[in-house]
Copies of this chain bind each other. A is one copy, B any other.
């Protein structure tokens, strides 16, 4: 079963063999792999070696290891497509923020909890919001859920001068969300910019988003600009990469 003289580490050979069986469907999505004890006997190796093999598959995001239950072929998650064009006045007019608009369009049961705080802008925030480091910003920290599951983290920062006296400084921003309040205050949004990247989650994010090992997160920094080009808001969003794809579209010229 294993070639001990090939130079290829045994645990890699075992991982490759298991991967093969998963790809061919012999081990179907959701099904249980042989236990460590069974693999030890099947391949005639020590426990440490089979654990290394399984770990390779876990890091690659192919299997899920559950303490006390076993190792399972990871079922492919439902992919949600977020069309960024939905960030429209039309949706706000229907009493919905960007997240609600996106989620409902996908058939979710969305909910979110918010914490509001105030802080002094760091270098990055100041740069993106075109203010001075140390200037006061209103921070809205949101945890968004769909069907009870945490699916998105968002930290929104606005120069406090734009939020003072508005519902943006409250937990409940009212109908249409923060963007609607900004427009009521005379700050009409002219453009959006988004900056998209991906990285491995921090340990904290991994537990908040209930991410299995081997799952990256998408990070989006969205900046909303007033019609005169002044930045009104920056929003740092974190999404599990196995559940989201982002859609963008633009005219050729």
A interface vs B, CB < 8 Å?
Answer: 59-61, 79, 81, 84-85, 87-89, 188-200, 202-203, 213-218, 224, 241-242, 244-253
Contact = CB atoms under 8 A, between A and B. Distances in A.
B88 A195 contact: no
Given A195-B245, A198-B198, 13 more contacts: A79-B197, A84-B248, A188-B252, A194-B247, A195-B248, A196-B245, A197-B244, A198-B217, A198-B218, A199-B241, A200-B216, A216-B216, A248-B250
Given A200-B216, A216-B200, A248 B191 contact: no
A88 B253 CA distance: 6
A154 B198 CA distance: 18
A191 B252 contact: yes
Contacts of A216: 198-200, 216, 241
Given A60-B200, A198-B216, A193 B248 contact: yes
